[in-house]
Amino acid sequence: MDFLSTFELVLKEFQEQSIDFAVIGGLALQQFGVTRTTNDIDFLVLISDKDKVKEVMKKLHYDLKHESIDVLNFFSKHSSFDRIDFLIAHRKYALAMLERAALREVLDGAFKIKFLKPEDQIGLKVQSSKNDPERYHQDMADIKALMKINYNDLDMSLVKEYFSLFNREPEFNKLIQEIENAK
């Protein structure tokens, strides 16, 4: 099974099960002009849909490899696209991100699904790069690219708030300065 087939199957099941979700991670970056390879599919889902997600993934022959209050990680030996991850929205910021997510057409208009706004993608990457130092350089490159490409449309007060939550205001200020100097 290829990536598009896997993605299409998951989307179909989620819509049939009325699972509220948004695409995040590498696929969402592409919706906002940042192209890079990705090794998995990432979703943000409501905590109230967590059990439905597990049922869908089991139906699609994915094995649950890790579960916590914040994440579900699934793997499959039967798919060429073997990993699908879920961030569980149960805290104020993640719930707001899912609420702000906007519908976009994908797969030649076959589906309308939600993608996180660039500001919220940045927020997740600020958190990720703080929690996992090995991800720092890739996450910061993604953040910079998102900010540069979408600079005029971003809610900079929200982006700054995300950096402030993790005591990273100097990094935010440096990024702003670099982007403005590059104009």
Last residue of some domain: 116, 139, 156?
A: 116
Predicted confidence (pLDDT) per residue in 9-51, tens digit: 899 999 999 999 999 998 889 889 898 877 788 999 999 999 9
Predicted pLDDT of residue 80:
61
For the chain, residues with pLDDT lower than 70 are 1-3, 79-81
Is the pTM higher than 0.85? The answer reads: yes
Identify whether residues 111 and 123 lie together within a single domain.
no
Predicted pLDDT of residue 138:
93
Q: In the chain, how many domains are there? A: 2
Identify whether residues 100 and 124 lie together within a single domain.
no
Last residue of some domain: 66, 82, 116?
A: 116
Structural domain of residue 139, as residue ranges? 119-182
Identify whether residues 49 and 92 lie together within a single domain.
yes
Identify whether residues 10 and 40 lie together within a single domain.
yes
Identify whether residues 105 and 133 lie together within a single domain.
no
Identify whether residues 64 and 88 lie together within a single domain.
yes
Predicted pLDDT of residue 1:
44
* 96: CATH: 3.30.460.40
Predicted pLDDT of residue 54:
98
Predicted pLDDT of residue 148:
95
Identify whether residues 111 and 133 lie together within a single domain.
no
Predicted pLDDT of residue 183:
73
Identify whether residues 76 and 13 lie together within a single domain.
yes
Identify whether residues 94 and 132 lie together within a single domain.
no
User: Rg for the chain (alpha carbons), in Å?
Assistant: 16
Identify whether residues 56 and 83 lie together within a single domain.
yes
